[in-house]
Structure 1
Amino acid sequence: MHHDYEQQLKDAEQIVNAYGKVLAQLDGINYGHPQSLLPCDREEIKSAIQLLLWELEGDEQDICNSLAQSYVYLAQFIPDDEAQIIAAGQSILSSSNFDDAHLEEADEAARIINRIKLEMEEMILDVRKFMRA
């Protein structure tokens, strides 16, 4: 195997492992996590996952499925200011003293969440291209 490719695989594994540590620390209930939590740029993580999926060629189905899930979950990482809007909107909606004055904030949070859901659907289609099984 070519040395550069071996190094790319090692780098991809390191990136995915660092990303996996971030995922392990998250509360899976909430939508929209701050991008600042990521160990590197979203595109770098996507490329690393794509490379590893391509390399596995459908072997190790559990690992492939886990990589695909973490790929799709990247859509949950959004600009920090948007993550704050979602957190505020969720606390408003769960508050017992909800009033119309906060409706606009909750509405903005809902718009961002809907965008995340759409991006997750697109990423499901995208990740399938890298799974050869």
Structure 2
Amino acid sequence: MIKVIHPIAGALALLMISSFWLSTAFVELFAGAPIVVMVKQLIPWGFTALIPAIVIAGLSGNALGKKWRNPIVGRKRRRMPIIAANGIVILIPAALYLSAKAQAGQFDTGFYVVQLLELVAGSVNITLLGLSMRDGLGLSGRVRPGSLHSE
């Protein structure tokens, strides 16, 4: 069962973070303030699914790789604290700050500085989660190991 739950939770986390990032970038570039406000209000609500998905992916991955000494598992293990810290220290506070600023109509320098930080931190998490997914697919045999590029 855990072999089914882990990839689903990981894929859901990657999909959600990517959708938050793409939604933000799209509305900042192509939409007006009302749509930016809407997106900034919705992203924190997405945490109700994202946070459990990341926790489940982390716990299930830890359980799956507990006895493995494979260097690929080690790389996946080293990425998780970075992903978690990035989310807890930067992404969640930034999303809450940006939501409050957007709802107040305060699109000032502080808003855009934090928005840029959020986009950079989000791209880091997307990259790290994508690398972990790639490695997981290689470990599971779903993708030929030779077809994956190493880090």
TM-score normalised according to structure 1 size: 0.43
Structure with higher helix content: 2
TM-score by length of 2: 0.39
